[in-house]
Structure 1
Amino acid sequence: MDVLVTGGAGFIGSHFVKRILPANDIGQVTVLDALTYAGHIHNLGEAFLSPKLTFVEGDILDRPLVDQLVQRHEAVVHFAAESHVDRSFYAAGTFLTTNVMGTQTLLDAAQRHGGERFVHVSTDEVYGPLLSGSAAEDAPLRPSVPYAASKAASDLIALSYWQTSRLPLCVTRSSNNYGPHQHPEKIIPLFVTRLLKGEQVTLHGRGQHVRNWLHVADHCAGVELVLRHGTPGEVYNLGCGTDLTSRELTGMILDACGATWEAVTYIPDRTANDLRYSMDCSKAVQALGYQPRHDLRTGLAQTVEWYRTNPDRWAPMLRKPTALLELAAPTAVEGRSG
């Protein structure tokens, strides 16, 4: 099976590429990535040693390019997306263009060329906040921020192609990922890199926001299961990590970095900050045998060690603080690499 991976030089996409490349039944793997701020060729690293890997720098909104690539592959795994919540407050149009129209461009090409498998990778944020209980795959979509709304829209667009033309696709929804190579705009690498530099970290509100933390390798294992065995037209929640408040997570990061609470500053909560996300992942467990294997404390220690020993990979990103968010740049077209 030849596989096209969009956003394959991004954090999660690159881990997925390196996971599937060694498989005997995987033929050519082509990465399509725009190499914007969150996508880096170095994320693929040793994957370039494989003769099975082809890298194409390009945009998922480039219809002729997408059409050409989709035609040559039996399967598409679609990671590419704008994904930073805070950025979406100021550049919502970019999120809608990339996450919705980009997805539709890929779906159109797959529909034209009769693709055998299409996996659309999404997020638990589409369910919106839950004060209690957990969202199963058929729960209402109630996103509360532009990023989540754009992903919910792309999920619905993807599923509509199954309904109207029986395009054999599945949707996956993951909880928060962590692990090596993640861009330092996300909370774990942001806190880790600041602490390693001896700087303060900031905690919103009282630190009571609850998130589920899933090692990127466990997420990629779930996506591979869906690629191989998922039932077309179905949605699969891929979580089952560890639920923590942001204060509990901060405590674990402080321990892993050898820092104390004196390094933490509390700041007012942002206007839109959902209190709690929670997914029911029993469907993927029962239907696909999905089972995360990484202990959070061990995985977090290994992640911190990667940032400690690879400052050349992340320090350049911190030279210009505005390069991380560029929140005041509504014309920016960043992050299409996912």
Structure 2
Amino acid sequence: MKFLVTGGAGFIGGNFIHYMVNKYPEDTIVNLDKLTYAGNLETCKPVEDKPNYKFYKGDIADRAFIFDLFEKERFDIVVNFAAESHVDRSIEDPEIFVKTNVLGTTTLLDACVKYGIQRYHQVSTDEVYGDLPLDRPDLFFTETTPLHTSSPYSSAKAAADLFVLAYHRTYGLPVTISRCSNNYGPYHFPEKLIPLMISRALANESLPVYGDGANVRDWLHVYDHCTAIDLIIRQGKNGEVYNVGGHNERSNLEVVKTILKALNKPESLIRFVEDRKGHDRRYAIDPTKLETELGWKPKYTFDTGIQQTIQWYLENKEWWQNILSGEYQDYFDKMYAKKIDG
């Protein structure tokens, strides 16, 4: 089979590229990424010479480009990771989130309808459900929880989900959607909480924590997320939504303190800063549907996963230091200047 993986130079998409290229050498994995600030081709360096891997640079919202690509490659499966995803950036500039997350998704859906793909899978987020109160640990997001977004980012993702389901009902497009909790693991862009805290702690710099640090997230190792998506696209029921959660709830402050302890750094590095606008208090996913219907189980607990993640950042300093210096943005030109995408 031939897979199109959009956003494959990003954090989760890049890990999925690694997973698929290595697990299914008989399948062709095509990586499409616009290479915006968070797209890093160095993430795909370990697989770029594999015979079943191809890369295209392009925008999912570029209709002419997308239709030309579908005409040329004739994909069987499309997995859409491509998205603007940083909440703070969505507050500052909502328009780009609408263009990529909504218009980009509908462009892909139109191409999928025209070229008759076997399955379109939308990678979504638990943030479309809004948040849960801190004093109700018995409450969890299920697939039937009403959408109740808090930020321009989550609103754009919710809109994309609704378009996916509408294309299934209106055009008969075979689709699935997964909504995941907060991911962590290797190749995570350093602006996000865990890699930001690791890099700053190693440099003995202050660690900014929003508000009182009590906001709770359910943490999911990116490897476990990849196995869930693989399972859903192969065995998931057409037209269904599946929640993917790690059962690993931690407050932001707990996460930061765990990182400091592992790195043998003092808690005095923590600096509480003004809270994010509309900051959700608690996310918690109930993955029962995925576990019971498809038999998915996560490999990592947070305790094992965070130690593996910290060790990866210690062993791969060049990767994230290139991002902090900006050098990673030159990788495409260095690697592909003399190559032809096709």
**TM-score, length of structure 2 as denominator length:** 0.91
**1:3-152 alignment to 2 at 5 Å?**
3-24=3-24, 26-71=26-71, 72-131=74-133, 132=136, 133-152=139-158
Partners of 2:263 and 2:199 in 1: CA distance: 9
**Structure 1 stretches of 5 or more lacking a match?**
324-338
* CA drift at 1:85: 0.4
Structure 1 counterpart of 2:91, which letter? Answer: F
Percent sequence identity is 43
Q: C-alpha displacement at 1:257, in angstroms?
A: 1.6
User: Is residue 2:305 matched to residue 1:299?
Assistant: yes
Q: How far 1:295 sits from its partner (Å)? A: 2.4
Q: Distance in 1 between matches of 2:251 and 2:28?
A: 41
Paired with 1:76 and 1:314, the residues of 2 have a C-alpha distance of 29
Q: CA deviation at 1:25?
A: 7.5
Aligned to 1:317: 323
In structure 1, what is the Cα distance between the partners aligned to 2:202 and 2:194? Answer: 12
What is the letter of the counterpart of residue 154 of structure 1? A
| C-alpha contact (below 8 Å) 2:88/2:276 kept by paired residues | no
Aligned letter for 2:178?
A: T
Aligned match of 2:227 in 203, 212, 221? 221
1:170-319 matches, cutoff 5 A: 170-319=176-325
Q: Distance in 1 between matches of 2:225 and 2:69?
A: 25
The separation in 2 between residues aligned to 1:155 and 1:181, in whole angstroms, is 26
Would you say the 8 A contact 1:242–1:296 is kept in 2? Answer: yes
Given that 2:246 and 2:301 are in contact with CA atoms closer than 8 Å, whether structure 1 keeps it comes out as: no
1:106 alignment partner, SS class: helix
- Which residue identity does 1:67 align to in structure 2? F
State how far apart, in whole Å, the 2-side matches of 1:156 and 1:26 are. 33
What amino acid is the match of 1:316?
N
Uncovered stretches (5+) of structure 2, i.e. residues with no partner: 330-342
* Distance across 2 between alignment mates of 1:27 and 1:318: 34
TM-score, reference length from structure 1: 0.92
Q: Deviations over 1:251-283 (max 9, x none)?
A: 111112211211111223222111111221100
**Distance of 1:194 and 1:270 partners within structure 2:** 20
Provide the rounded CA distance (Å) in 2 between the counterparts of 1:22 and 1:217: 13
Q: SS of the counterpart of 2:48?
A: helix
Structure 1 residue 240: Cα displacement: 2.6
Q: Which amino acid aligns with 1:190?
A: L
